[in-house]
Amino acid sequence: MEFDVMTRATTWDNVATLARRVEGAGFSGMLFTEGHQVPWMNIAAASLAAPSLHFSTGIAIAFARSPMITAEIAWELAQNTKGKFRMGLGSQVKAHIVRRYASTWDKPAAQMKDYVQAVKACLSAFRREGPLQHDGRYYKLSLLTEQWTPSRHDYEDVKVDISAVGPLMLRVAGEVADGVHVHPMHSMHYIKQRLLPGIAAGAARAGRDAASIDKIIPVIVAAGDTPEERAQSIKEAKTTIAFYGATPNYAFQFDDLGYTGLRDQLRDCLKTGDSARAETLLTEEILDQFAVVARWDDVADRMIERYKGIASRLVIYLASHWREVDPKILERWGEVARAVRKAA
């Protein structure tokens, strides 16, 4: 398993400093989310500062862009990172796609399948495997002259991944994606009983080997050698689980585990701003289902036990301020990273 850091776009100087620290600590790579900034320039700055790292987006917003633009970005980043980039795409939600990006939103799973196929059609044309031709329900592409075709390079096998939670999008991942970004709020019950069967169903439909589809899994971790050291990261973990768990898109996992009604209670806490009650509702038993809470010396073993044989890449979640992390703490994370990578 590879071991990455999740972060958000920042200034180019900041991300270059962070990349050098992450590379020096022994991580495999960096995964960028797309929020208030696009990630592309940050990835370029980070790759120049730390050329051994691998880079991915987890996720870039698909429906906000033409498939051609996405393919061109992926092609350029793959070339300049010497093959150390993979494009991770997600649908976002209707309000953002329609009202923030002024783009089309219909049936997200069907639209995502068409989008990925359109991106791959562009990449195929860039490789000169044939003329650009994609005639999908949402995206139609048929014009790409040599003048407007990107130059060929040595790193043309560009991976295209998607985020997926529910059964429809998981089947799409199995059918057309090179990898799937698992949601950070997940239990192992969800992964084994929902995620893997969903991917397998899609792969079977397309005649693909489900094992060939990479699983990129962000993990919520609360590490520390004493309860006092773990307190802040446990609080952050509970805040994250409460936020996601208050929405029906993810809260079905509570029901799967027998915590019926927890979603409604967390939703009430979110509406009233009662974070203290939300923390109380998320007991130690529930937290252990969705996060790794452990002493530093046990973190790697716990992650390996959970994810070996399933994950292609693990990603440390809740890492927005990595450039500010104390060097001693970063070294502890480096020890975890090296142990996980060695166990692959």
Do 76 and 154 lie in one domain? The reply is yes
H-assigned helices in the chain: 12-25, 40-49, 67-80, 94-95, 108-126, 167-176, 188-190, 196-206, 227-245, 248-256, 262-272, 275-281, 284-290, 296-307, 327-342
Dihedrals phi, psi of 74, to nearest 5 degrees: -60, -40
Q: Is residue 107 part of a domain?
A: yes
Same domain, yes or no: 98 and 34: yes
Asked whether residue 320 carries a pLDDT value surpassing 60, the answer given is no
- The pLDDT confidence band at residue 318, using thresholds 50, 70 and 90, is low
- 32 and 89 part of one domain: yes
pLDDT tens column, 180-221 = 999 999 999 999 999 999 999 999 999 999 999 999 999 999
pLDDT band at 160 (very low <50, low <70, confident <90, very high): very high
Beta bridge partners of 134: 141
Across the chain, mean pLDDT equals 95
Q: Are residues 196 and 252 in the same domain?
A: no
Which tens digit of pLDDT belongs to each residue from 128-149?
Answer: 999 999 999 999 999 999 999 9
On whether both 242 and 148 belong to a single domain, the answer is: no
Residues 330 and 206 in one domain: yes
pLDDT above 80 for 323: no
Query: What 3-state class would DSSP assign to 100?
Result: helix
Residue 73 and residue 41 in one domain:
yes
CB 88 within 8 A of CB 163: yes
pLDDT given at position 143: 98
Name the pLDDT band for 302 (thresholds 50, 70, 90): very high
The residue-averaged pLDDT of 95-117 equals 97
Band (325; pLDDT cuts 50, 70, 90): confident
Look at residue 130 and tell me if it is in a domain.
yes
- 137 and 257: one domain? no
Residue 252, in any domain of the structure: yes
Number of other residues whose CB lies within 10 A of the CB of residue 130:
9
Look up tokens 């038993």; give the residue. Answer: 285
Range of the domain at 87: 2-215+314-342
Query: How many separate domains does the chain show?
Result: 2
| Confidence (pLDDT) at 322 | 62
